[in-house]
Amino acid sequence: MEARATHKHISSSPRKMRLVVDLIRGIGVEKAIEILHFSPKHPAKDAEKVLRSAISNLLNKDQESNLEPSDLFVKEAFVNQGPSLKRMLPAPMGRAFRIRKRSNHLTIVVASKS
C-alpha cells in the first residue's frame, strides 16, 4: 500500500530542494520527519509539510488496517523543475540582465514495509 503527496510551485530552486530530499529518500518516516524538522536548510520546511501530507493520505486511504508511522518508509522522493519567473535587473550603460527566479514541484511517495 502506498500514497503520494505533491506540492507544486514551491519558490525555491530545484537544486536546493534536491539537497534536502536526498537526505530522506529510502528511510523510515519517523526518522525522515526528524531529519527535516531539525535541518537548517530553508526547503526542509516545505519537504516536511509534503511528507506529513503523504503519511496522512496513506492513513486515510487504508483505514481498516492499523498502520503505524513506524511501519512506513519513504519509497520515492523527487523534485521536478517548475516555471521560472523572469525579472530584469538594471545593468551599467543602459543594459539589463535577466534574473530567473526558479520554482520546483516536489513529490513524495510513502509506502508500508509489509
Give me the sign of the Cα torsion angle 21, 22, 28, 34.
Answer: negative
Mean pLDDT of 39-65: 92
The pLDDT of residue 108 = 97
Q: Place 45 in a pLDDT band, splitting at 50, 70 and 90.
A: very high
pLDDT tops 90 at residue 66: no
Q: Which residue would you say has higher pLDDT here, 61 or 40?
A: 40
Q: What is the mean pLDDT of the chain?
A: 94
Burial (CB count <10 Å: 0-12, 13-18, 19+), residue 58 = buried
Its pTM stands at 0.90
Q: Please state which CATH number belongs to domain 2-112.
A: 3.90.470.10
Closest CA to 11 of 55, 54, 46: 46
